[in-house]
A = this chain, B = another copy of it.
Amino acid sequence: MKIPPVKGTRDFYPPDMAVRNLIIDGWKKVSLRNGFEEYDGPIFEYLKMFQIKSGDEIVEQLFSLQDRGGRELALRPEITPTLARMVNQKISSLPKPIKWFSVPRLFRAERPQKGRLREFFQWNVDIIGEDDVLADAEVIFCACDYLQEIGLMPDDVVIKISSRKMLAAVLKSVGIPEERLDLLYVVLDKKNKLPSETFKQILNEQLSDSKIVDKIQAFMELKKVSDVESMFGRRGEVKESIDELAELVDWLGRMGVEGYCEFDPGIVRGLAYYTGIVYEIYDRASGLRAIGGGGRYDNLLRDFGGPDIPATGFGIGDCVLAILLEEKGLLEKNLPKSVLDYFVIPVRNITFDDEKGIVKSTPEGETVKLTTKLRRLGFKADFSYKGTSLGKQLKEASSRNARKCIIIGEEFKNSELVVKDMASGEQQLIKVDKFFAKLKSEMK
Which chain A residues have a beta carbon within 8 Å of chain B's beta carbons?
Answer: 1-7, 9-14, 17-18, 20-21, 32-35, 37-46, 48-49, 52, 63-65, 67-68, 71, 73, 75, 82, 85-86, 88-90, 97, 99-100, 105, 107, 109, 119, 130, 132, 134-135, 137-138, 141, 145, 148, 251, 254-257, 303-305, 338, 340, 365, 368-369, 372-373, 375-376, 378-382, 385
Contacts and interface: CB of A to CB of B under 8 A. Distances in A.
Given A11-B39, A254-B369, 17 more contacts: A1-B304, A3-B45, A5-B45, A6-B71, A6-B73, A11-B89, A12-B40, A18-B38, A20-B40, A32-B380, A34-B375, A35-B382, A43-B107, A44-B119, A97-B385, A134-B385, A254-B365
A256 B376 contact: yes
Nearest to A250: B365
A303 B2 CA distance: 9
A236 to B, nearest CB: 27
6 contacts: A11-B42, A13-B86, A105-B105, A134-B368, A148-B376, A257-B372
B90 A13 contact: yes
Contact of A17 (B3, B40, B45, B378): B40
B85 A3 contact: yes
Contacts of A12: 39-41
- Copies of this chain, complex-wide, total 2
Contact of A5 (B7, B41, B132, B303): B41
Given A40-B12, A378-B33, A380-B35, A256 B3 contact: no
A13 B37 CA distance: 9
B375 A3 contact: no
Contacts of A48: 3
Given A3-B48, A130-B385, A35 B340 contact: yes
Contacts of A3: 45-46, 48-49, 52, 85, 304-305
Given A1-B304, A44-B6, A68 B256 contact: no
Contact of A67 (B109, B256, B305, B376): B109
Given A14-B100, A44-B9, A381-B33, A303 B1 contact: yes
A42 B1 contact: no
Nearest to A74: B65
Contacts of A85: 3, 5
A145 B405 CA distance: 22
